[in-house]
Amino acid sequence: MEIRPILEKMIKMEASDLHLKVGLPPILRINGRLAPLNMEPLTVDDLRKIAASLMTKENQQKFVAKKEADFAVGIPGLARFRVNVYIQRGSIAIAMRTIPHIIRSIEELNLPPILKDLAMSPRGLILATGTTGSGKSTTLAAMIEHINQNTAKHIITVEDPIEYLFRDKKSIISQREVGTDTLSFASSLRYILRQDPDVIMIGEIRDVETMDIALKAADTGHLVLSTLHTLNAAETINRIISFYPPYQQQHVRVLLAATLVGVISLRLLPLKDGKGRIPATEILVSTPTIREYLLDEVKTLKIPQAITEGDQYGMHSFDQCIMRYYKQGLIDYETAITNATNPDEFKMRLKGIESTSDAGWTEI
- With H, G, I as helix, E, B as strand and everything else as coil, classify residue 268: strand
- What average pLDDT does the structure give for the chain? 93
Q: Are 118 and 189 found together in one domain? A: yes
Q: Are 234 and 341 found together in one domain? A: yes
User: Are residues 203 and 157 in contact, defined by beta-carbon separation less than 8 angstroms?
Assistant: yes
Residue 295 to residue 242: CA distance in whole angstroms: 14
Q: Is 271 exposed, middle or buried (0-12, 13-18, 19+ CB in 10 A)?
A: middle
Residue 45 belongs to a domain: yes
Rg of the chain over Cα atoms, rounded to whole angstroms, equals: 22
Residue 180 belongs to a domain: yes
Q: Are 253 and 323 found together in one domain? A: yes
Q: Are 87 and 188 found together in one domain? A: no
pLDDT of residue 184: 85
Residue 310 CA, chain-centre distance (Å), reads: 23
Choice between 350 and 253, residue whose per-residue pLDDT is larger: 253
Mean pLDDT (whole number) for 126-150: 96
Residue 362 belongs to a domain: no
Q: Which residues contact 26 (CB under 8 A, 6 or more apart)?
A: 6, 9, 18, 19, 20, 36, 37, 39, 42
Residue 207: is its pLDDT beyond 80? yes
What pTM did the predictor assign?
0.88
Q: Are 88 and 172 found together in one domain? A: no
Residue 359 belongs to a domain: no
Q: Per residue in 282-297, pLDDT tens?
A: 999 999 999 999 999 9
- Flag the least confident range among 54-68, 114-128, 176-190: 176-190
Final residue in a domain of this structure, among 99, 126, 154: 99
Q: Are 55 and 190 found together in one domain? A: no
Domain that residue 78 falls in: 4-99
Residue 256: is its pLDDT beyond 80? yes
Q: Which domain CATH number covers 242?
A: 3.40.50.300
Residue 342 to residue 318: CA distance in whole angstroms: 9
Q: Are 133 and 73 found together in one domain? A: no
Residue 104 belongs to a domain: no
User: Are residues 91 and 45 in contact, defined by beta-carbon separation less than 8 angstroms?
Assistant: no
Final residue in a domain of this structure, among 99, 129, 153: 99
Can you spell out the DSSP letters for 103-145? ---TTTTT--THHHHHHT-SSEEEEEE-STTSSHHHHHHHHHH
Residue 103 to residue 301: CA distance in whole angstroms: 37
Final residue in a domain of this structure, among 76, 99, 122: 99
Can you spell out the DSSP letters for 213-231? HHHHHHHTT-EEEEEE--S
Q: How many domains does the chain have?
A: 2
Q: Are 157 and 234 found together in one domain? A: yes
Q: Are 207 and 168 found together in one domain? A: yes
Residue 123 belongs to a domain: yes
Q: Are 72 and 118 found together in one domain? A: no
Residue 105 belongs to a domain: no
Q: Which is it for the CA torsion 287, 288, 293, 294, positive or negative?
A: positive
Residue 180 to residue 201: CA distance in whole angstroms: 17
Residue 202 to residue 10: CA distance in whole angstroms: 29
Residue 362: is its pLDDT beyond 80? no
Q: Are 93 and 120 found together in one domain? A: no
Q: Which domain CATH number covers 10?
A: 3.30.450.90
Residue 309 belongs to a domain: yes
Q: Are 24 and 133 found together in one domain? A: no
Residue 73: is its pLDDT beyond 80? yes
Mean pLDDT (whole number) for 159-172: 94
